[in-house]
């Protein structure tokens, strides 16, 4: 099928539509298509056109200075002014005819390059790093500890998010905007896996934080509470809860057609219901998997810091009047300072790396119209990249 014929299929009921012809010229600018293009341009446009829409379009072109005495195709290819006029008349035409069609949009080359480079790098480093954690803990029996159980759960969750989100995100940079090529099943499954991995990751971090609190602040109870068998049961509960919580996403998405002028068979993965119907779900996500984990982590790490900075009983009795005692106290304080820095990093990066995307989601959820939404593409890339970085940073921070 020729490109011009495919363009004619883009709007149902279209017979002879000059706007599609000129759009094909604008988008492709390939003289080899002249045969298909000219075959669709009505002859003697301004005088013999009987279709109301074509008459409107042709009169717009004529008033803009585009003549039909010479080839319209040549004029558009040669003159930027003629191209702009053709574009404007096409937009007026679609509004006049109330057509649900729009020009295809493509990401700029700098946007594609930056997004593919940074997110591709995060994917490779994050995937390999998390996979290494799973393999090392799996193969070494000595590393089968409660802490490492939570670490493996966190790594599996992060791998799930990276695989379900990043390759598709990078691939879509090189397609027409909103294009989805994985079908209905892919739409439902990938969205489900992304949400389940993100939520399981947040719960795993929280469980790890509680385990560290018990081990440091309640060492006598830790021997009976912080066991491998108990950790495995908690991890199973985390994943079951994340699975059940996210299973509605399998039924809340759909693939719908996007009508682009000059491009056929474009689909998008979108909501099955109106966006307002999802607000409760979105805010439950923010509270359960961002606000609550952040509060728990902040409180518990503060309590851990108090215990770590508490002077040992031996130092209280011995004092630090001797040189050796002073050196020991100095070394102890230095080690504690490193621990506090690590704990502060864990909480701060979790809060900061998720803040852009969570704020973006909340702001747009309250937007009443599309015009009110904040849709800056560079910010959206930045917010998503922060989320992907967090997938790698989780294990890097915990290993420290």
pLDDT on residue 62: 72
At 345, is the pLDDT very low, low, confident or very high (cuts 50, 70, 90)? confident
Q: Which of 172-186, 273-287, 328-342, 357-371 is predicted least confidently?
A: 328-342
pLDDT on residue 54: 63
Look at domain 109-316+339-399 and name its CATH class.
mainly alpha
At 296, is the pLDDT very low, low, confident or very high (cuts 50, 70, 90)? very high
- Average pLDDT (295-301) is 89
Tens digit of pLDDT for each residue in 176-195? Answer: 877 899 999 999 999 999 99
- Average pLDDT (269-290) is 87
Is the pLDDT confidence value at 34 over 80?
no
Is the pLDDT confidence value at 31 over 50?
no
Is the pLDDT confidence value at 24 over 60?
no
More confident residue, 225 or 22: 225
More confident residue, 377 or 157: 157
Q: Which of 95-99, 175-179, 231-235 is predicted least confidently?
A: 95-99
Is the pLDDT confidence value at 322 over 90?
no
Residue extents of the structural domains in the chain: 3-97, 109-316+339-399
Is the pLDDT confidence value at 244 over 90?
yes
Residue 193's CB is within 10 A of a number of other CB atoms, namely: 17
């Amino acid at each position: 099928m020729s490109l011009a014929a495919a363009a004619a299929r883009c709007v149902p009921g279209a017979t002879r539509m000059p706007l599609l012809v000129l759009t094909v010229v604008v988008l492709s600018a390939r003289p080899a298509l002249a045969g298909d293009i000219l075959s669709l341009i009505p002859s003697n446009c301004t005088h013999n056109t009987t279709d109301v829409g074509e008459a409107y379009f042709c009169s717009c072109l004529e008033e803009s200075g585009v003549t039909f005495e010479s080839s319209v195709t040549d004029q558009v290819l040669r003159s930027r002014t003629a191209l702009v006029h053709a574009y404007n008349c096409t937009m007026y035409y679609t509004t006049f005819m109330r057509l649900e069609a729009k020009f295809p949009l493509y990401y700029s080359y700098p946007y594609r390059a930056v997004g593919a480079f940074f997110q591709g790098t995060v994917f490779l480093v994050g995937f390999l790093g998390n996979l290494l954690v799973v393999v090392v803990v799996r193969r070494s029996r000595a590393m089968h500890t409660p802490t490492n159980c939570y670490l493996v759960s966190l790594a599996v969750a992060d791998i799930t998010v990276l695989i379900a989100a990043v390759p598709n995100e990078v691939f879509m940079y090189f397609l027409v905007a909103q294009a989805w090529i994985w079908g209905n099943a892919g739409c439902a499954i990938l969205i489900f896996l992304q949400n389940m991995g993100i939520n399981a990751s947040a719960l795993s971090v929280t469980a790890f934080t509680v385990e560290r609190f018990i081990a440091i602040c309640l060492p006598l109870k830790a021997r009976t509470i912080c066991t491998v068998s108990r950790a495995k049961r908690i991890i199973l509960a985390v994943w079951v809860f994340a699975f059940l919580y996210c299973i509605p996403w399998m039924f809340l998405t759909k693939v719908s057609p996007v009508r682009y002028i000059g491009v056929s068979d474009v689909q998008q993965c979108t909501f099955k219901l109106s966006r307002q119907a999802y607000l409760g779900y979105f805010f439950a996500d923010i509270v359960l998997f961002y606000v609550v984990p952040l509060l728990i982590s902040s409180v518990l790490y503060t309590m851990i810091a108090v215990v770590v900075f508490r002077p040992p009983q031996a130092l209280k009795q011995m004092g630090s009047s001797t040189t050796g005692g002073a050196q020991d106290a100095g070394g102890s304080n230095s080690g504690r300072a490193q621990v506090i820095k690590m704990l502060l990093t864990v909480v701060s990066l979790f809060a900061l790396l998720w803040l852009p995307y969570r704020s973006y989601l909340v702001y747009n959820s309250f937007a009443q119209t599309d015009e009110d939404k904040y849709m800056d593409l560079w910010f959206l890339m930045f917010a998503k990249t922060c989320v992907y970085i967090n997938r790698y940073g989780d294990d890097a921070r915990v290993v420290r």
